[in-house]
Amino acid sequence: MLSWRQSLHANLDLERPPLMEIQVNYPLQPLNTFGVKAQAERYVRFDELAEIAPFLAGRPNAGGPRLILGGGSNLLFAKDVHGTVLHPLLKGIDVLHQDREAVLVRVMAGEAWDDWVAAAVHNGWGGIENLSLIPGSVGASAIQNIGAYGVEVKSVIDRVEAVALADGSARVFAASQCGFGYRDSHFKRRWRGRYLITAIVFKLLRRPRFNLSYAGVQAQLKQIGPPTLANIRHAVIDLRRSKLPDPAVTGNAGSFFKNPTVSRAVLNSLRNAHPELPHYAQGDDRFKLSAAWLIEQCGWKGRALGDAAVDERHALVLVNRGEASGEEILNLSRSIATSVKKRFGVALEREVRVVPNGDTCQPGTHRPR
């Protein structure tokens, strides 16, 4: 299986289709980190910004539904994709402005997210070091407002540049317009299917302020050295490697579900029965629970239904142990959600986007073996 970074660029290295040519029945297995088999009815990739608007403007209704693909690290192909997969592989990192405090940088959507983090750390620009080693593309980082180790990308986004899929017209959204929340944005819901993100303008600090709020990062730093951008990146990479499976070795898409949020009343009633329940105050009398803990308590950690399995180290990560189909992984996820709902009364919401919307698959009825 290809690593997620190879996967993002896989079709650049293989025999490349001519620019802007629409490919039919295009294989998607190398382009998703679950490594499941699927194909796109039509596929087109863009290497230059200038190619996108004319392509869209010339085809207002043709090609059926459109799916935009980044690194395929937050997607589960449950079936073949009906319609056209658009794959923007636009490259470039440009400093737009800098002063003593901050730097404004435009990063094109097709850059690999972690290459951008490495470049920022190398240049002494602070703000995204805690987001080291998250797979995928820069463009997709705004879709679910990626987050890790106490930082969400919304805190460093100045604006998002996009084109409207309807007619190829250019749009710019200030961060405040994007509806960013926990693993959420307007791009993911209200505006879903309307825009292709072409670039993101980030505002990073030239005098970094370190975020060491996540206890694990502080503990890791004790073995590495004082907090610097490079040391924090190092600590986060070590932590991630110790907890999460590498998609280059075992297909996965990171956390399959979001951590659920509940009211104080629900928390208290759950804690009466389970005093050890991990929970994190959100500041608005709401509390985040650990989906991993709920899943582990239901006996799913390390369990498998065929080649679709729950990771042995982290219960929130579903993995493809070999030849699992997208539908099998989806059905496993449904069985897990059913167990958690039955035992704790808590609904799990998927973080991973299932394509096509998987509601037509079999409901989950399996029990862990």
Q: Annotated active-site positions, please?
A: 183, 255, 351
- Between CA 120 and CA 107 the distance in angstroms is 11
From the list ligand FAD, ligand EPU, none, which binds 75 (C-beta under 5 to 8 Å, kind-based)? ligand FAD
Token pair of 322, please?
Answer: 């070999």
CB of 135 to ligand EPU, least distance (A): 9
From the list ligand FAD, ligand EPU, none, which binds 292 (C-beta under 5 to 8 Å, kind-based)? ligand EPU
- Between CA 182 and CA 113 the distance in angstroms is 19
| Residue 243 in the binding site for ligand EPU (CB under 6 A) | yes
Footprint of ligand FAD on residues 71-110 (CB under 6 A)? 71-75, 88, 109
- Between CA 135 and CA 1 the distance in angstroms is 15
Site string for ligand FAD, 8-37 (x = CB under 6 A): -------------------------x----
In the complex with ligand EPU, the residue whose CB is nearer, 165 or 244, is: 244
- Between CA 318 and CA 326 the distance in angstroms is 11
70 contact partners, CB below 8 Å, separation of at least 6: 8, 88, 109, 110, 136, 137, 139, 140
- Between CA 51 and CA 135 the distance in angstroms is 26
Instruction: Report the phi/psi class of residue 88: left, alpha or beta, with left for phi > 0 and alpha for psi in -120 to 50.
Output: beta
In the complex with ligand FAD, the residue whose CB is nearer, 198 or 335, is: 198
From the list ligand FAD, ligand EPU, none, which binds 46 (C-beta under 5 to 8 Å, kind-based)? none
Given 351, 354, 355, 358, the residue binding ligand EPU (CB under 6 A): 351
Question: Which contiguous run of DSSP H or E holds residue 300?
Answer: none
| Residue 292 in the binding site for ligand EPU (CB under 6 A) | yes
- Between CA 222 and CA 284 the distance in angstroms is 33
- Between CA 163 and CA 196 the distance in angstroms is 5
* Burial status of residue 209 (CB atoms within 10 A of its CB: 0-12, 13-18, 19 or more): exposed
In the complex with ligand FAD, the residue whose CB is nearer, 69 or 267, is: 69
DSSP assignment of 322-340, as one string? SS--HHHHHHHHHHHHHHH
Footprint of ligand EPU on residues 116-175 (CB under 6 A)? 148-149
Given 154, 203, 258, 334, the residue binding ligand EPU (CB under 6 A): 258
Given 248, 290, 338, 353, the residue binding ligand EPU (CB under 6 A): 290
First to last CA, the chain: 27
In the complex with ligand EPU, the residue whose CB is nearer, 84 or 259, is: 259
DSSP assignment of 198-226, as one string? EEEEEEEESS------SHHHHHHHHHH-S
- Between CA 132 and CA 234 the distance in angstroms is 8
263 contact partners, CB below 8 Å, separation of at least 6: 285, 286, 287
From the list ligand FAD, ligand EPU, none, which binds 296 (C-beta under 5 to 8 Å, kind-based)? ligand EPU
Q: Are 125 and 207 in contact (CB under 8 A)?
A: no
In the complex with ligand EPU, the residue whose CB is nearer, 36 or 295, is: 295
In the complex with ligand EPU, the residue whose CB is nearer, 125 or 149, is: 149
In the complex with ligand FAD, the residue whose CB is nearer, 147 or 326, is: 147
Footprint of ligand FAD on residues 116-135 (CB under 6 A)? 134-135
Token pair of 200, please?
Answer: 């993101």
Token pair of 325, please?
Answer: 């189909």
Q: Which of the stretches 28-36, 157-165, 253-261, 332-340 binds ligand EPU when contact is defined by CB under 6 A?
A: 253-261
Given 137, 220, 297, 339, the residue binding ligand FAD (CB under 6 A): 137
CB of 29 to ligand FAD, least distance (A): 14
CB of 228 to ligand EPU, least distance (A): 20
| Residue 316 in the binding site for ligand EPU (CB under 6 A) | yes
Contact residues toward ligand FAD (CB under 6 A) are 33, 67-75, 88, 109, 134-137, 139-141, 143-144, 146-148, 196-197, 244, 247, 252-254, 353
Chain positions contacting ligand EPU, by CB under 6 A: 148-149, 243, 254-255, 258-259, 278, 290, 292-293, 296, 301, 314-316, 351
